Amino acid sequence: MAAAQNGYANGHLQQSTPLPTLQPISQKPQVVKHLQNAAFRQGEQAIIQFAVVGTPDTQVKWFKDGAQIESSNKYSVSFDYQTGLCSLTIFSALSEDSGQYTCVVSNYDGNETTSDFLSLGSISLNFFGVYLLTLLVS
């Protein structure tokens, strides 16, 4: 019986050297699309997003004026590991939601931070039929 030349014999892989175990390449998170200052109307849904790359085990934490935000009946915090899209949704934004929003993305290799100032205002229609954003000043 002739030996298999392609490494197979009787339908089974014949290998004398074990295959190396592949380890994921570890990479510090890197923000590839930063947060940008945003303005929303009071009472509407506000969504703040940015994109990040980095592996493995990426952790995402959101903060408003230094206080950590978690998912609740007011906020939704999400991170899509496939696309790297990080999102913070405020379901019904109010004037007290204006402020500095910061997101810290981290893993074993380090962290990256991005910030956004969220302003809430009202929208009015001028005589040219153009929507104007009026920021609320507290």
Phi/psi-derived region of residue 84, left when phi > 0, alpha when psi is between -120 and 50, beta in every other case: left
Q: Which of 31, 43, 27 is nearest to 116 (CA)?
A: 31
Record the tokens describing residue 28, joined without a space. Answer: 């510090």
Whole-number pLDDT of residue 134: 37
Domains of the chain: 26-120 (2.60.40.10)
Whole-number pLDDT of residue 14: 55
Average pLDDT over residues 74-88: 89
Contact 103, 113 (CB under 8 A): yes
Rounded Cα gap, residues 35 and 54, in angstroms: 17
Q: Please provide the average confidence, as pLDDT, over all residues in the chain.
A: 74
Whole-number pLDDT of residue 80: 87
Does the pTM of the predicted model rise above 0.75? no
- Over the stretch 26-78, which tens digit does the pLDDT of each residue have? 678 888 877 666 778 888 888 888 888 876 688 899 999 999 999 999 999 99
Average pLDDT over residues 110-128: 69
